[in-house]
Homo-oligomer: A and B are copies of this chain.
Amino acid sequence: MKVRVFVTLKPSVFDPQGRAIVEALHSMGYGGVGDVRQGKYFELEIDAPSADAASALAAEVADRMLANPVIEGYRLEVEGAR
């Protein structure tokens, strides 16, 4: 089962990489882009009997390895949830 994990900095945490992208875009003439936040994206292929089990395992993995819970949050999406 494929689970997508999106890890982003918490809204209160300054994102210097996103800021650098916005400034570069503005200097390239893309004034319409107001703000950019950069995060990480993971696709996990999980062997689990149900979508709930896959989601629970992915959440544990995200908590323990993929995200830093002090400054980051994450969101999960199970593909082909039955």
Contacts and interface: CB of A to CB of B under 8 A. Distances in A.
A24 B57 contact: no
Interface in A26-43: 28, 30, 32-43
A67 interface: no
B36 A39 contact: no
Interface residues of A, number: 32
Contact of A30 (B7, B35, B57): B57
A47 interface: yes
A35 B45 contact: yes
Q: Which 10 A-B pairs have the closest CB atoms?
A: A41-B41, A35-B45, A39-B41, A34-B45, A37-B43, A32-B47, A6-B41, A36-B44, A38-B42, A33-B46
